[in-house]
Structure 1
Amino acid sequence: MAGGVTVTLGGEDVSAVHSRVREISITRGRQDELDRTGTGTATVSLNYVEGSSISDFVGANGTIELANPVGSSGVIFEGIVDEVLYDLDDSQVVTRVDVVLVDALDFLASIEIAPGVNGILPLPSTVDDGNIFYEQEIPQDRINTAIAESGFEGVTEIFTGNVQIKDTVYAPRTNLLTVIHDAADAEFPGVANVFVQRDGTFTFHGRLARFNPGDAQYHITTYDAGDGAACLGNSGRAHIRRLRLGSSRKNIINAALATPEGILDADIENQIVTDSGSISTYGLRSWSAENLLTFYDDLNNLEANDATLQFAQYYVDNYATPQIRVEDLTFKSIRPGHENAGATWDVLCHADISDIIALQVTNPGIAVNAEYFIEGVRYSIRPLNGSYALVEMSLDLSPRAYWDFSF
C-alpha cells in the first residue's frame, strides 16, 4: 500500500507507484438529517509520466482503501468510474489525470421507469395503459423490486421498514430513485435513510436504526472523540483537530404538516402540529411532508392519517427549541506513536454514515458531552512515502438527542 493508500481501478492498482496518485477527495452523504443523501463521489488525481500506461477506466469498478499504521485498514469508497479528465502539462513530461468515481446512487438515479418494464404486469384494469403500477407492500419489497428492475448487481442491505406502502401509479419516465425515495419517506420522512456505505453496499435504514441504534442488526459503531484535554490519559478517544459548534433558528421546526396521499381536504387541518411557545420566541418555522405513500403503520397499528400525523408531532416535539449542533468536525492523520493514534486511525479508516460520534470537549463558554450521528463524510488525502497518508476527514453530524426516546 504505497503512500498509505491503495487505489484500484478496473483491477489495476494505480497506486503501486506512489507518485502516480497525487491527491484524493471524497464526498459522501448529506449535510444534515433533513436532506436527501446524494450521490457519493471520489476524485483520484493522478500523475502520468513517461512509461506509464494510460487506460480508459470509464465504467470500471474502483476501490479506495486507506492504510491504518496501527490497526486494520479500511475501504473508504467503492463505486464505478464516471469520467476521466486529462490536463496536459506544457512540459510534456507529465499528464495530470482526474478519475471521477460515483457510488450506486448514481447508477439508480440514471434510470427512468417505463411501461411494460417496471412494476406489476399485467396492469390492473383500474390503471390506464402507459403507466407503471406497484402494489401495496412494505418498503423492503418496493425497494428490492426497484433494485431488481435496475439490473444493479452490487451488495444491498434493505431493512423491512415499519409501514405498508399504498399501491402506487407512476407516470412513465419517473426516475427509479424516486420510487425508492418515496418508499423511504413513507416509512418516516427525514428519519428513514437511503445511502451507500463506504464499501459500496446500497442501504435502506428505517426509523428504528435511529431510535434504537444499539440493535446489532444495524451494525452502528460508536466512536469516542474529544479535544486535547478529553484525550489526555484516554487512549480510546479519537483526537479531533478542528471543531465548530453552533445553534441556529434555521434548524427550528415549530409548525409541521404531514399527510398521506389521498387524504380528504377536510382532514388536512387535523394533520397540523404547532408549538405556540416556540413560535412566540423564534417566529414561525415550518416543515411539511405531503402526499406520503404511507398506508398503515405496522409498528404502532395506525391508519394513514394517524401514521403521518405522528411524523409531524415528532418534528415539533424535537425541533421546537435549538440544539447545540456540530457545524464542522475534522480528524487528521496522527503519528503512530501518539497516545490516541489507535482510536484516531480507527475513525479515519472505518467511521461511516449512520455511525455515532460520542463527543467530549471543554472550552471557555461551552462544554459538550453528547452523541451525534454521522450524516456525511468528506476526505482530502495526499499519499506519502511512508506507511500512512496525510488524511483530513470532515464529518457532517446531527444530534442524537433528536432520537433519544423509543418510537
Structure 2
Amino acid sequence: MKPLGITVVLGLVVGALAQLTVPQPHCDSPEVEEAALVAQDYLNAQHTHGYKYALNRIEDIKIYPNPDGDTYVMDIDLLETDCHVLDPTPVANCSVRPKVFTAVEGECDVVLKKVGGVLTVTAFKCKTEESTEDLCLGCPALLPLNDTTALDFVQASLATFNNITANETYTLLEVGRMSTQIVSGGPIYLAEYVVIEADCTDDVCVPLNDTMAVRGICIARGLSIAHNVDCKMFSTLMPVVDANSTAGPALPPTIHVHEGNLSRKHGLKHHKLTALHDPQLVGLLSAESAESSEVVPVAPAVVGAAATAAVPTTAVPAASAEPAADSDSASDGSTSAEVPVVVVKRDVPITPSPVVAQTDSNSNGVVKMCPGRIRHF
C-alpha cells in the first residue's frame, strides 16, 4: 500500500476510535440531569427580561474526557414558565405556560466544563420561538409587545391599581406579554406586566433607584374602560432556598430598564433567551440553535460540591466580545446592564429520576440512550 493510502486509512481508524471513546450516557441519568439543571439555572441567570425557563427534555449529551476536566456538550429543550425573572420563586416551583396560552420554547446547545466536581457553563447558543401546536379557536392570541392599543389597556389597568393602593404608587417596568381573546361580548385584552415602586411628581412617575424598591407582577383582563387587575408583589412570594434548605430574605435581581421600553421596534411577541455566548470559540455548538451571531459576555456560574470555594472570573477579552446586550434589545439598539455573577449550589440527586425506556424498532429493541423523557409536553 502506498504511503498516502496508509495515511488515509490510519486517519479514518483514529477518527473512528475517537468517536467510540466519547462517553454518551443516558439522557435521564442523574449525572446528565444535574448538568442540564446547571445549564437551566445559568441560562435563566443571563435572561434579564421576561420569564424564567424550565427544563423540558434532554435531547442529546456527549462527554469529552480531558486531563484538565471533562467537557459536556448538551442539547436541551426549555419551556417558558409564568415566573418573571424578578420573581424569587425557584424554577422548580414555577408553572410551565400551557399550550392554549401560547407556550414559548427554547432550544439550547450548552457546553459545560467539569473540574473537581464543579460544573461551569463555557458557551451556549439558544433559539426561542412560539409553540403553535394545539392552539384552539377562541384561545388567546399573542400580540406584539409594541401593540399601541394593548399598551393603552396596560396603562389603564395600572391606573386602576394605583387608585386602590393606599401609600405607594407604581409605574411600569416591563411588559411581559399581551394577548387578545374573542369572548361572547367581543374581543378583550389580557396582559402581564411588571411594576416598580415609583416617585411621582405632577403626574410624572420615575422608578425608585433603589434595589429595595418594591416590584411585582400584574395580570389584567378586559378593556380599557372595564377590566380586572390583580397585582402581587415579589416580596410576598416564596424566598430563594439554597441547597441546604436555609431560607432567607432575597434581594431582587438587578434588571435594566430599556429606554423607550414600550415602543419596541422589532415587534416581538415574547421575550427571547440570550442567543449566543462563545467567547473562546470552542467549536462544539451546532448550527441549528443559532439565532444571531451576537456574542454576549455573561457571568460565570459554578455548581457542585466545590461550589463553596471561590472560583476566579475570567474577563472576556474585548476583541472577542461585544458590549452586553440581551437578545430582546438587540434589534432596537438598547443594551442591558452588566449581569451579576451568579453562584448556584445544586446537590446531585441521591436517587435517579424516573426513566421512560424508549426503543427503536429498527434496532431490535435496543433501548435508546437519548433523547430523554419529556417533563411537561
TM-score bin, normalised by smaller chain: under 0.3
Compare the two structures and name the one with the higher strand fraction. 1
Per the normalisation by structure 1, the TM-score is 0.24
